[in-house]
Amino acid sequence: MNKEILELLHEKLSEKLLQRLEEGDITASEMSVIRQFLNDNNVSIIDDKIGRLKHTVDDLPTFNDFKMQ
């Protein structure tokens, strides 16, 4: 296959997956296909709020920080 055909397949697949997702009537299998498609294309998003929340949680004291009396 040539590069143009592969690019077209990629584009059409991503459009179809997005369409199914937007329709809202999506199966677990289709969600799995979307997840794998994103993973295969190295797509990941870490929201700034999640990053800040993780930093806040990491700063919370643990039980090991307290001495038993």
Q: 17, 37 in Cβ contact below 8 A?
A: yes
31-65 pLDDT, tens digit each = 889 889 888 888 776 666 666 666 676 776 666 65
In whole angstroms, give the CA distance from residue 17 to residue 20. 5
**CA distances in angstroms from 25 to 11, 19, 34, listed in the order given:** 21, 10, 14
The alpha-carbon radius of gyration of the chain (Å, integer) is: 21
24-36 pLDDT, tens digit each = 888 888 988 988 9
pLDDT at residue 2 is higher than 80 = yes
In this prediction, residue 55 carries a pLDDT of 67
**Residue that is written with structure tokens 């937007």 in the block:** 22
pLDDT at residue 12 is higher than 90 = yes
In this prediction, residue 14 carries a pLDDT of 92
Query: What's the rounded mean pLDDT across residues 1-29?
Result: 90
In whole angstroms, give the CA distance from residue 33 to residue 47. 22
